Structures are given as C-alpha cells and as structure tokens.
Amino acid sequence: MNKTVGVLGGGQLGRMFAEAANRLNIKVLILDKENAPAKQILGTSNHIVGSFKDSHAIRQLAAECDVLTAEIEHIDTLVLEELTQSGVIFEPHWRTVATIQDKFDQKQHLKSAGIALADSISLDSGSVDELKRVAEVFDFPFMLKSRREAYDGRGNLPIMSKDDLDHGSDFCKDRKVYAERWAPFKAELAVMAVKTKDGVLSFPTVETVHENSICKLVYAPARNLSRATADKAQQLARKAVAAFEGKGVFGVEMFLLENDQLLINEIAPRPHNSGHYTIESCPISQYDAHLRAILDLPIPPSSLEMREPAVMLNILGSATGGSIDPFITAALSNPRTSIHLYGKGPATTPGRKMGHVTVTAETMAEAEQLIQPLIDVFDKHSGRKPASATPSRAKGGKEVPQIAVIMGSDSDLPTLAPGLTILDTFAIPYTVRITSAHRTPEVMASFVSTAASTGIRVIIAAAGGAAHLPGMAAAYTSLPVIGVPVKASSLDGQDSLYSIVQMPRGVPVATVAIGNSVNAALLAARILGVSDLRVRGLVEEYARKANEEVREKDKRLREGNWKSYMEKKG
C-alpha cells in the first residue's frame, strides 16, 4: 500500500489511527504541534508542525500526501475547499466537516434529511428576553449550546429554571449560541457508522455514560437493549451518515427516550470516543475502518461485529491535577484489561482525556464486574465518591442467558412454569433445555460443562423419581446448581426430594421444596443479585409486595370474620 495519509490533528484519535496504519504499512503524516500524541509513535521527521486551523500548514501537509483526513472537526475548511478544487483528496468531504463543525447547521442539515432530533432555535443576541421567548416554546429545562468549538460538554449550558436566564445570557455574550429542547433520555447510545464508496456500514449499538458532560464509560453492546431498538439505532445512524458527503467513520450520538424513541444528539465526522472498544472487541477497529474507507480498501461487513462484550473507561485528568499513576498501577494488575495511554505528559488539566482502558469478557455481566474495581479507583482519583456499578436497565431483549433451566423430561415443564414466569417478570435472560441425566447423559454433560463459559451463572435443574439430573449437573460444573424435586406418579415426590437433597459431601445442590420452582427462581435471582443491583432491587421489591399482600389479607380478616372471609375466598 504505497499511499501517504495526512491527518489534520494529532491527538489520541490520530494516534490510534496511526497504530492502525502502521499495521498495514501505510505511511501517515501528522499536522499538529511538536511531539503531539500521534507524532510520538510514527518514525518520521516529515510531520508538519503547526495548527490544523492554519491554511499554510494544511497546504504543506497536502503537498506531501495522497489523501488527507482529520481527527477533529474544528479545522480550516476554506482551504480544504480550495485544495479539493485543485485535485487534493480530503475525506470526508470538506462540506461535511463545514456543516458538522457548526452544531446548529449540522442539526438543520439532519432535520432536512428527515432525521429525528431535539428541536433547536438559533439565537441572535442571547438577551434575557430572547431566552425567555425560548422558554415559552421549550419550557424548562432547555440547553444552550455553543455553535462552534464545542466538545466534552465545554460548549453546553443547561438552563434549568428562570433563575439561570441571566447566567445564560452572559454565556451567549462571547459566542454564537443556539437553544435546544431538553431530551429526557433514559440512556445515551452511540453507533460508529462507516461511509465507504459503496454505502454505509455500522458497528453495533453501544451505551455511553457521561459524567459532567464528559463521556466516562462505554458499554458495548448497549446493556439490556432490545434487539429491535439496537437495530433501529444502527439504521438511524446509517441514515444520518448517508446524509453527508465523503468517506470515513462517523461517530453518531443518540438519546434513547422513555418510550424507546431515538433522537440523534450529534455526529462527529471522524473516529470517536464511543468507538475505542472496537480495538479489542471487533475484528477491525474504527481506526482500521476509517483507513480502509478513505483508501477504498475492502471492509467485510462481518468484521464490524463484536467478538466479545466490552466496557471502556476513560482516564481523565483529576480535578486536583493529581497523577494518573495510581490508576495505571491498578489497571496493570486488573485481568482482561487493555490500557491505552495517549502520551500527553503528566495530568494537569481536570477532565482532560489522558488514556482509556477496555475490559473484555465473555459476557457483559462479567466485563462489568471486572471493570468495577477500576471505576472505584477512578472515582477516588478524580475526587468523587466511589460510585456503585451503574445498574443495568434490563427490559428483556435478546441477551446472553444468565440462568440455565434444565429438566429431565418435558413432563417437568408444568412444575417449572411458575419459576420461569418469575424470571420473565424480572427480565433475567435464561435458557430452557431438556437434558436427561439418564437418556441423554452426553448432551447433559456437554451442556453443563460448557455453561459457565457461555455466560450462565446459575443452573436450575428439575427432576422427578430417580432424580439424578441436579446432582450430575453439579458434578460437571462449578456453577451453583438449584434442584427442584418434581412430584412424579408415585411416592408423592418424596423420592425426587431425597434423591436431590442427599448429595455426597463436596458436590452441593441447593434443594428447594417439592415442586417449588418459584423458590428456585428467586434463589437464582438472589445469587445474581450479589453483583447485579438491578436484580437485587427486584428481589427486594418482590419481598415487599409479599409482605403487603399478607398484611392486606390480615386486614380483611380482621374487618370481617373468618367465615365471611372464607366465603369470599370461595
């Protein structure tokens, strides 16, 4: 590949782009200040020293390269327009960057392409009177956003009530601002879309968690999102990106509203923080994809699918300007953790992106658990109170099963039904299988012995008569096994109970009452609840409801007498 790619901007995105290019023997030249992060890892003295807003420096870079691209949108597009007319290739198109770099123009452009997004109103002076008129249309809260040069929340000011109007008006004094309707989102999602010469592809839908308007965590794939909504988000991202000219990756930020409606928040015409996870999680990363797209190299669509779930945590400069070293020390000994440091020197600026870590695991639950100690160190380092894990927002959807419910025979299914209903109510993903310990021992052995590696965390096993299934399962796995004795045609289920409960020392099976699959499901939920705050909350809620029900019955009994109570009960 005998091409030289010039990049306007040499920050962390340029640096990771350079890593991807290095692996393909593609030469990269950077325009940015001396020793910028991207320059540090490229062995050439031909980089251009200067600003990506300086037309002279951009011309110099263009003279050395076959294709130009940018890792930041706040660049001089006028000179790019001129250069393009004289045959220089810049991707994505200069018009795309020019439209996107003014957030208001970007949103108007998306709106005219039929893309759903929060309403916006351009402002003249931003006087208090003008902001009052905005409040009449949008009500409080609404958002003031700087049209240009905004990033990491630095151009945003939420106007929560009329008390903020004076401050809002001051904010408008030295910049062009527009007002945006508040988006009452339940989650923020993002999709990296790849625009090639042939069309638009996309990476999976991820969830971003912002703190103080800066992206802190990315969960890939987005947790507990239905397959339909995840697909819808990818489609929306592809449609939005198709509205722009040029090639390359685009970061598409979205709001997911309570009713599952999606709104586009904003688009970045470049690799994006929400796509770092692709380095470890996908066969080709967002940086590989950008490179391939701008050079018309093949991108097999399946290379954008995730191999493993991931959680990414940004390493930000602390509020006190302290060193990030304690965090790095912790990350180095954390299992399954990839560390990326950006070469920005000692951390001094609060909130500055100094690096990131990505933890991958076979299941999202596992990745969440693995990264939690690092989140705790991060919170401590940045002067925050250690936060508990962000609770998952499970609402069903196609997810990796956490519980395996197995039975010896389909005649056990009616006994299991009440327990399965509980798992449905709690939106805990599970799988149900018939794996007889007697008739299909090899199927049972293979299923149970690999269960842990597929993300299963608890096994519920129901069996009747010579009820060997729970015990055999426990022998093949280190996962907790809960046995449900099923009442078979003779001996009233006592045979099943004794078979399951009488396990030899060393191979434990937690045994519930005969036919009590509800308790098996609740016990499984309690086990998951040890590390899943959402499930723990549901278990507590279940107990609270049961408590209320008994009190209510007692009240009714005390109000009437026992005979009328019995009559009503029928």
Q: Which residues pair with 256 in a beta bridge?
A: 187, 262
With CB under 6 A as the contact rule, the residue among 143, 328, 339, 443 that binds ligand ADP is 143
Is the N-terminal amide bond of 92 cis, ω within 30° of 0? yes
The nearest distance, CB 319 to Mg ion, in angstroms, is 21
Is the N-terminal amide bond of 141 cis, ω within 30° of 0? yes
Given the rule CB under 5 A, which residues bind Mg ion? 253
Is 210 among the residues that bind ligand ADP (CB under 6 A)?
A: yes
Q: Report how far residue 565's alpha carbon sits from residue 570's, in angstroms, rounded to the nearest whole number.
A: 9
The token pair at 100 is 């996107």
The interface region with ligand ADP, picked from 44-52, 144-152, 489-497, 511-519 by CB under 6 A, is: 144-152
For the window 40-79, what string marks contact with ligand ADP as x by the rule CB under 6 A? ----------------------------------------
Looking at beta carbons only, is 351 or 429 nearer to ligand ADP?
351
For the window 92-131, what string marks contact with ligand ADP as x by the rule CB under 6 A? --------------------------x-------------
Looking at beta carbons only, is 185 or 542 nearer to ligand ADP?
185
With CB under 6 A as the contact rule, the residue among 54, 64, 81, 152 that binds ligand ADP is 152
The interface region with ligand ADP, picked from 58-66, 181-189, 396-404, 555-563 by CB under 6 A, is: 181-189
With CB under 6 A as the contact rule, the residue among 101, 265, 496, 499 that binds ligand ADP is 265
Measuring CA to CA, how many Å separate 65 from each of 4, 61, 138, 271, 340?
5, 7, 48, 20, 28
431 binds, among Mg ion, ligand ADP, none (CB under 5 to 8 A by kind): none
Q: Report how far residue 25's alpha carbon sits from residue 30's, in angstroms, rounded to the nearest whole number.
A: 16
With CB under 6 A as the contact rule, the residue among 50, 108, 111, 151 that binds ligand ADP is 151
The nearest distance, CB 7 to ligand ADP, in angstroms, is 20
Measuring CA to CA, how many Å separate 59 from each of 24, 63, 75?
26, 6, 13
Burial class (CB in 10 A: 0-12, 13-18, 19+), 297: middle
Looking at beta carbons only, is 221 or 251 nearer to Mg ion?
251
Is 526 among the residues that bind ligand ADP (CB under 6 A)?
A: no
For the window 448-487, what string marks contact with ligand ADP as x by the rule CB under 6 A? ----------------------------------------
CB neighbourhood size of 561 (10 A)? 9
Strands 206-211 and 156-159 turn out to be unpaired
288 binds, among ligand ADP, Mg ion, none (CB under 5 to 8 A by kind): none
Please count the residues of this chain forming the interface with ligand ADP, following the rule CB under 6 A. 17
Q: Among 355, 346, 394, which Cα is nearest to 374's? A: 355
Residue with structure tokens 């970061």? 251
19 binds, among ligand ADP, Mg ion, none (CB under 5 to 8 A by kind): none
DSSP 155: T
Which residue has the closest beta carbon to ligand ADP?
A: 183
Which amino acid is residue 147, in one-letter code? R
Q: Which residues pair with 177 in a beta bridge?
A: 146
DSSP 503-537: PPTTS--EE-STT-HHHHHHHHHHHHHTT-HHHHH
Q: Report how far residue 515's alpha carbon sits from residue 419's, in angstroms, rounded to the nearest whole number.
A: 10
DSSP 88: -
| Residue 170, SS3 per DSSP | helix
Q: How long is the chain? A: 570
With CB under 6 A as the contact rule, the residue among 84, 121, 128, 153 that binds ligand ADP is 153
The token pair at 168 is 């809002």
Looking at beta carbons only, is 266 or 376 nearer to ligand ADP?
266
93 binds, among Mg ion, ligand ADP, none (CB under 5 to 8 A by kind): none
The token pair at 105 is 């123009």
Strands 310-316 and 353-360 turn out to be antiparallel
66 binds, among ligand ADP, Mg ion, none (CB under 5 to 8 A by kind): none
Contacts with 332 (C-beta within 8 Å, 6 or more apart), sequence order:
339
With CB under 6 A as the contact rule, the residue among 40, 108, 213, 226 that binds ligand ADP is 213
Looking at beta carbons only, is 82 or 266 nearer to ligand ADP?
266
With CB under 6 A as the contact rule, the residue among 71, 76, 188, 399 that binds ligand ADP is 188
Contacts with 318 (C-beta within 8 Å, 6 or more apart), sequence order:
324, 347, 350, 381, 382, 383
Which amino acid is residue 333, in one-letter code? S
With CB under 6 A as the contact rule, the residue among 150, 218, 394, 481 that binds ligand ADP is 150
The nearest distance, CB 421 to ligand ADP, in angstroms, is 37
Q: Report how far residue 486's alpha carbon sits from residue 546's, in angstroms, rounded to the nearest whole number.
A: 25
The nearest distance, CB 151 to ligand ADP, in angstroms, is 5
With CB under 6 A as the contact rule, the residue among 91, 180, 288, 368 that binds ligand ADP is 180
Is 253 among the residues that bind ligand ADP (CB under 6 A)?
A: yes
Is 280 among the residues that bind ligand ADP (CB under 6 A)?
A: no
Binding site for ligand ADP (CB under 6 A): 118, 143, 145, 150-153, 156, 180, 182-183, 188, 210, 213, 253, 265-266
